[in-house]
Amino acid sequence: MSSDFVNSMEWRISENPVDYHTAVQEMEDRAAAVAAGQEPELVWLLEHPHVYTTGTSAKKTDVLNALCPVIETGRGGQVTYHGPGQRVVYLVLDLNKRGRDVRAYVHALEEWIIQALEKLGITCDRRDGRVGLWVQRTDTTDDKIAAIGVRVKKWITLHGIAINLAPDLSYYQGIVPCGITEHGVTSIHNQGQQIPMQELDKALQETFHTIFA
């Protein structure tokens, strides 16, 4: 690998919603360039127009009512929703230099979300047997506030995380989110923190390098 981009990284924030297919193609192209040492790693913060995406473990029955387009993806996981008001973060990182451990990478993504939301006054955590980050609602039920779905190709990461800032949560009624029926979905605004997207982005940027140094 060329040494030009070993210690560099691009942060990109898209102001307008990005078409899902366009974003995936951009990720694929960037991953190939990172693997070839031609481009730096990328952390891309964006929003999508309303869309349901299905991962490699998805079941057709998990789409109950297609309230928006349904797109098959190559990421792990099941069915989820993306739309305005949700901060999606795609990471094209080189695990060759970060340790070839996908489980550790997913754990790091979880910790990143936990620390970023803690800065915003929201406590979320992992749950055994459930992917993503959860906010406790009652003694027996939780609400999901962030989703994780990744793919690794030649030890370069694709896809990433989605944090619900203030999306229209009614779209989740059209699917079984991540195959889970006994728990709900929430957002940062739903938790009483009426913050702008820029403040969430700032928290993500401030905590990133403590996790992915």
Q: How far is CA 49 from CA 22, 70, 148, 170, 193, in A?
A: 12, 12, 18, 15, 23
pLDDT digits (tens, 9 = 90+) for 159-184: 999 999 999 999 999 998 866 777 89
| Average pLDDT, integer, range 123-152 | 92
pTM: 0.93
- pLDDT attached to residue 74: 80
Share of the chain above pLDDT 70, in %: 96
Is residue 144 over pLDDT 70? yes
Is 124 annotated as catalytic? no
Catalytic residue among 162, 178, 197, 200: 178
Q: Which domains does the chain have, with CATH numbers?
A: 3-211 (3.30.930.10)
Query: CA 112, CA 139: separation in Å to the nearest integer?
Result: 25
Instruction: Tell me what the mean pLDDT of segment 13-30 comes to.
Output: 97
Alpha-carbon span 79 to 72, nearest angstrom: 9
